[in-house]
Structure formats: C-alpha cells, structure tokens
Structure 1
Amino acid sequence: MPTTVSSSTAHGLERKSLQAQENHDVRAYFFRKHRDELARAGVAHLFLLDSARRRLATPDSGRGPAWRLALAAAREAPLSRRPYQMLLRVAPGSRIVSRPFRRVLSLASRVVKP
C-alpha cells in the first residue's frame, strides 16, 4: 500500500504557510522584497491589511502587530478607508469605542476618498 504525504509535509519539508509565526515572517520578507512592485500595482495596503487580519486570527499574536500593519497600510494608501476601519477594529480600547462614534468616523473617511 503506498504511503501518503500529510498536508503539513511535502517531500519531508514542513510547509511554512501552515505555521503561524513562520507565515508572518515569510509575509514580512515578501513585503520587504516586493514593496515597490506592490505599491506600483496599488495593492501594498491590501497585502498589509491581509497580514493584519492573519495576525488577528493568530491567538498568541495580540493586537499590537495587527495595529502596526494597519497603520502601515494607512501610510501606503492614505485615501483608502479600509486601513482606518482596521485601525478602529484593533486599536487599544477599541471595545469601548461606541458604535455611533465608529459610524461617524466611517462616514468621515468616505468624504475624504475621491
């Protein structure tokens, strides 16, 4: 009977994409290497927001790294509202920010966007 390779190993090598910390490190390296190309394509902020979302999905990561990534995304695309929405989601004390206040900030960010 042939042996099967588990999903976490391929040819004896462990996949880094399945390990949370390794995935974060590889994504940071990828961004450093391809930052200019991502910015030219207009997707650098989206890559950073996806990295922030992945940080939030990692239980032991905390909100700090996700907040820094969302802040970097806001710097990459200051007129996009998505980075600001993520910043509100992960900001320290974000649980005590009232829903109406979040709504006002969301509407304000729409006014700024061309």
Structure 2
Amino acid sequence: MVHYSEARLDTAFAALSDATRRGVLEQLGRSEASITELADRFHMTLTGMKKHISVLERAGLVTTRKVGRVRTCRSGLSGLEEEAAWIENYRKMWSARFEALDEVIEELQAQENDDERHGK
C-alpha cells in the first residue's frame, strides 16, 4: 500500500475545506492576482484574504511574491498528486465493494425469479 504524509494530506484537505479558498484556487488557475484583487472579488477584507492565502501557501497550493507594495498570488507547486492518489485509492476500494454488492443483488434477484417460476 502507498504511504501518504498525514501532515501533508491534513494541511491540503484543511485548505480545500473552505469554499472561499477553493474559489481562490479556481481564480488563480485562470490567472495570477494580487491579494487586493482577490479580496475585492470575494467581497472580503484584505486581512481576511491574507489569512486564506496564508493557509493555501502552507499547503503548497499558492505561492506569492511581493513587488513594491503589491503581493501577487499564483497557483502553487503542489499539483495535488498525492492527495488525488489518496482519493483514488479509496475510490477503487468503494468501487470494488459496490461491484460485489451488485453481484449479490443480481444473485438474489435471479434466485427470486427462479423461485417465482417454480411456485415457491
């Protein structure tokens, strides 16, 4: 089984748990933006947006650079590969369980149909 860094997963999923931060990532996926532009876009204070950006930076999802008085944000280096692999592992497990359940249901339905035909 693949081993994942719990701290990294916790940090990334915590960062992704907030709708505003997911919106910021979506926006930065289209183009970089200053913290001021992001705060305006999401109708929040500059301080509030700085906190969101800080959480995203700690998770490696956003990088910032300061030029003069403007701090510009862009998508980070983390491509969420480890997180996607973790999710995929569980998706495969649940898919296998649902397929097994489907087989049981099909067997029960076939048995029920057979019983009905034989008057049981």
TM bucket (normalised to shorter chain) is under 0.3
Q: Could you say which structure has the higher strand fraction?
A: 2
Structure whose alpha-carbon radius of gyration is higher:
2
Q: Which has the higher contact order (CA 8 A, sep 6+)?
A: 2
Give the alignment's TM-score, normalised by structure 2. 0.27
